[in-house]
Structure 1
């Protein structure tokens, strides 16, 4: 009898040991060997697709000299011949978007005119003179909506005036990537009526203000009322500007000279059809 109980007890102990081992193997966390972990990590790395590389669009060399439509706006509001109502500005920007125009930055315009290349066939440069506050309130939302770009020509001595953009507002606009800023001199005086010394002060001081406060290298000058003479052209180059704009009516070409470029005035009441004709040029 004692022998039977001894055999039975041994069997129970063996069963307990086997059951405990099974339970321990199921409950412990699974640990992969070093080669297994390496293989799993390697498989995960292989299965992750590499990031795509975005290639810059090559610019096209033109067979004929570039004809660049440079649009001239001032205030986006109503009241006189220098003010284009917001609804008209909206229609014109919508037209540019719908017809796949590339709107230049200042740097792109300089590149296009000096190398006779373009990123695509339809290009235009939007400029707004005087830096009115409604360029922010009425203009910027439209540029953002249609993903377009414009250059605002700043009278640096007017930034404290109620109807003009402040420095803080210009910084906000620049940060959007839809606007860049160029010089419209310090006091908006007729340059051709000033002495060479006075002209130089207007050109140099406005550029210095923009470079310092907007952390940029200002490359474009827009003459107040389009008024300039040979001295102005010489001083503009000496002051570090790459281009200068007038109010002469027409499409810009480098034959006019870098410091004597024409623009296309957008007037209030202009129909969309007239606007379309205004900017249609042949660059081939």
Structure 2
């Protein structure tokens, strides 16, 4: 067995033995692992979908969401935009000590009704990747007036394509139409801005990345688990998915605090 593999096993055993302590207090998580995590800038990007009371994995309740936002505030996180992130990656722009992107996929109306007031309360902004054809045409999703209000209050509005079609399932003509059409809708309703996209269903490959770049998008976000740093691929940016579970807050705290550590140990993508 290689030395690096033995080291990973030792770390895993340590984590298993430490879990009862780690799970006893969210504060204990960050304090216990701070020395292991502080070896360079890693940007936490959270990935939500719905904030409501539906009993499904993609729905975090408003109460759980507020608990999570309160925790992030108490831990000193500062929200940034996708443009801030790329200015850091491309031009070495300075970021706050604990930079955070809070992203939502699809553009559900509960993002405005339930998440937005909580985020305002804690001084956070977010990024919402919208399916442009669904806006103002399906009551489950945002209206353009709501989208405009969010943008006017510091939120970034990105693309999730026009129809939420998995981008690896279509030919280049349809792919370009989805990319350019959603960008045109954003331009028309919100004014021109840098383009960012989250891949629908997380489906992408190197060819999709190439077309996305050719269509003028500055970066793209995946559902691949991990944190982002300067070594990350701008067209395959990692995020931390946040789901509802039996112990949603405990899972949230573990993901926020240990993702970078797990990446460096090679336990997830590094």
What is the TM-score with the length of structure 1 in the denominator? 0.72
**What's the counterpart of residue 204 of structure 1?**
180
Distance 1:89 1:187 in 2: 27
**What's the counterpart of residue 213 of structure 1?**
189
- 1:274 alignment partner, one of 247, 251, 260: 251
Runs of 4+ in 1 over 4 A off after TM superposition: none
Contact 2:83–2:194 (8 Å) recurs in 1: no
Distance 1:120 1:95 in 2: 17
- 1:142 alignment partner, one of 118, 141, 144: 118
**What's the counterpart of residue 202 of structure 2?**
226
Tell me whether 1:189 sits opposite 2:143 in the alignment: no
Tell me whether 1:104 sits opposite 2:80 in the alignment: yes
Distance 1:87 1:253 in 2: 31
User: CA deviation digits over 1:110-141, x for unaligned, max 9?
Assistant: 22233455422211111000000000110110
**What's the counterpart of residue 164 of structure 1?**
141
Measured after TM superposition, the shift of residue 254 of structure 1 is 4.1
- 1:73 alignment partner, one of 48, 61, 70: 48
Contact 1:133–1:163 (8 Å) recurs in 2: yes
- SS of aligned partner of 2:104: strand
Measured after TM superposition, the shift of residue 243 of structure 1 is 0.8
Q: When the two structures are aligned, how many residues end up with a matched partner?
A: 219
Distance 1:276 1:124 in 2: 14
Tell me whether 1:236 sits opposite 2:212 in the alignment: yes
Distance 1:69 1:103 in 2: 10
User: CA deviation digits over 1:243-262, x for unaligned, max 9?
Assistant: 10111111123434110111
RMSD, aligned α-carbons: 1.8
Measured after TM superposition, the shift of residue 84 of structure 1 is 0.9
Contact 1:66–1:113 (8 Å) recurs in 2: no
- SS of aligned partner of 1:232: helix
- Could you list the runs of 5+ residues in structure 2 that have no partner in the other structure? 1-37, 262-270
Measured after TM superposition, the shift of residue 276 of structure 1 is 2.7
